[in-house]
Chain A
Amino acid sequence: MRFQLAVAALLLSGAALARADDLTVPLAVHDGGFAPAQIKTPTGAKIRLDVTNQTAAAIEFESFELNRERVVQPGQKVAVYLSGLSPGRYEFFDDFHPERKGVLIVE
C-alpha cells in the first residue's frame, strides 16, 4: 500500500513538474469549427492543447494522427497532452460534428 502511494506520488509529482514548461496552445470549438483551425508548433515541444468547448452541445476532440480522443462538455476546458511529435501535419476533428476540422503542424 505504502509502495503504491509512493509510486502514485512520484507519478503525480513528475507530471506536475513536467507541466511547468509545457507549450500551452488554446484551441476553442465554436459552432463554426475550431479556432484556430491551424496550429503551428516547434518540433520536440511538449504541447498542452487546451480544448475549450464554446458550443451548447458536447463535442469529441479526436485525431487518428495524434492518437487522441476526448469528450468535452459544453463550457468545459480540457487539457490534451502531446509530446515528442516528429515534424508533419496532424489533422484533428470533432467526432460528434465531423465537419469541424483542424490541423496541427509540427515544424
Chain B
Amino acid sequence: MIQTLLIMWRETLEAALIVGILLTYLGRSGERAGVRWVWLGAGAAVAAALASAAASRGAIAMLDPDTQEVLQAAILFVAVGVLSWMIVWMNRNARAIRGELHEKADRALAGGRLVGLATIAFVAVFREGVETVLFLWGVVLERASLAVMPLLVAGIGGGLLAVATAWLFFRGFSFLSLPTFFRVTGVLLVFVAAGLLASGVNKLIALDYLPPIVPQVWNTSWLVRDGSAVGAVLGALMGYRSRPSLLEVLVFVAYFPPMLWALRRRVSSPPSSRAPHTAAPSAA
C-alpha cells in the first residue's frame, strides 16, 4: 500500500509542480483568465490520459511502441518550444506589472498565450497521466478482488500528496517579494524546459536514434539518489538524473545561452518603448 502511494506520488509530482508554477505565477500577477486556461489544459489532459489508456488496446496499439515513444519525444520538444515562448513573455509581463501596479485589473492575456498556457499544462499532466492510469489499471487487473480498494485509495492518496507537495513548495514562495518571486519562477521554468528537452533526447538515445556520445558523464547518486524524495523533486523540476549521458548534458547546457539572450533582449527594449506613452497598456 505504501508502495502504491509512493509510486503515485512520484508519477504525479512533475505534473503537479509544473502546473503549480503556472498557477502561482498567474495568481500573483492577477491573470484570472490564465488560471482558468491552465486548469482547462490540465483537466483536458486527465480526460485524454484516461481515454488513451482505455484505447491503448485499440487505436494507440496500432502505433508500434517505438513510434509512440518518438511521438512522446516530439511532444516534449513542442512543449519546450511553447514553454520557452511563455517564459520570455512572462519575463516581460513581470516587468510590466512592476511598472503599472494599479492597472493590473485591466491587463488581459492575448488568445495565443492562453492557448500556450493550456498547452503546457496539458503536456505536463498528459505525459505523467498516461503512465499513472496504466499503473492504476494494472493494480486493478492484478487483484481482481475487494483487496483492490485500499490500493486504489492509496494510489489516489499518493496523487493528492503530490499536489500537497507542490502546494507546500509554492506556499514558501508567497513570502518572496513580487520581483523576486517573478525572477525565481522564471529561473525555475528555464530549468524545467531544459530538463524536458534532455528527457526527450534521452528517449531518442534509448531508441538508438541519437548517440549518447558518453553513456555516463558522471555519477552523483552518492549526493542525490534518483529514487529519493529530493531526487524526485529535482527530477520533476529539471530532469535530474544521477548518471546522465554526455549528449543529455550538452543539450541541457546548450538550452541556456539562447534563452538568456532572448530574455536579455527583452530587458532593454520595453522600458524605452513604454516610457513615451505610459498610459497605453503593454503590448504584451
A67 to B199, CA, bound (A): 10
| Cβ distance A81 to chain B, nearest Cβ, rounded Å | 4
Q: Is A96 a contact partner of B135 (Cβ separation < 8 A)?
A: yes
A46 to B227, CA, bound (A): 27
The residue from B141, B221, B226 contacting A57, defined by CB atoms under 8 A apart:
B141
Q: How many contacts A-B (CB < 8 Å)?
A: 80
Residues from 120 to 149 in B contacting A, C-beta threshold 8 Å:
131, 134-135, 137-139, 141-142
| Cβ distance A75 to chain B, nearest Cβ, rounded Å | 9
A55 to B226, CA, bound (A): 26
Q: Which residues on the A side are within 8 Å of B164 (C-beta)?
A: none
Chain B's closest residue to A61 (CB) is B206
Q: Which residues on the A side are within 8 Å of B208 (C-beta)?
A: 15, 18-19, 48, 79, 81
Interface size of A as a range = 20 to 34
Q: Mask for B206-235, Cβ within 8 A of A = 1, else 0?
A: 111111101110000100011100000000
Q: Is B138 a contact partner of A67 (Cβ separation < 8 A)?
A: no
A82 to B205, CA, bound (A): 8
Q: Which residues on the A side are within 8 Å of B134 (C-beta)?
A: 58, 71, 73, 96
| Cβ distance B55 to chain A, nearest Cβ, rounded Å | 12
Q: Is B209 a contact partner of A84 (Cβ separation < 8 A)?
A: no
A68 to B242, CA, bound (A): 12
| Cβ distance B154 to chain A, nearest Cβ, rounded Å | 14
Q: Is B214 a contact partner of A76 (Cβ separation < 8 A)?
A: no
User: With an 8 A cutoff between CB atoms, is B245 at the interface?
Assistant: yes
User: With an 8 A cutoff between CB atoms, is B278 at the interface?
Assistant: no
User: With an 8 A cutoff between CB atoms, is A3 at the interface?
Assistant: no
Q: Is A81 a contact partner of B138 (Cβ separation < 8 A)?
A: no
User: With an 8 A cutoff between CB atoms, is A1 at the interface?
Assistant: no
Q: Which residues on the B side are within 8 Å of A96 (C-beta)?
A: 7, 134-135, 138
Q: Which residues on the B side are within 8 Å of A95 (C-beta)?
A: 7
Chain B contacts to A: CB under 8 angstroms: 3, 7, 56, 61, 65-66, 69, 131, 134-135, 137-139, 141-142, 202, 205-212, 214-216, 221, 225-227, 241-245, 248
Q: Which 8 A-B pairs have the closest CB atoms?
A: A57-B138, A81-B208, A58-B134, A64-B226, A57-B141, A84-B215, A78-B65, A96-B135
Could you name 15 residue pairs across A and B whose Cβ atoms are closer than 8 Å? A56-B141, A57-B141, A58-B135, A67-B244, A67-B245, A68-B202, A73-B56, A73-B61, A73-B134, A78-B66, A79-B208, A83-B215, A86-B216, A96-B135, A98-B3
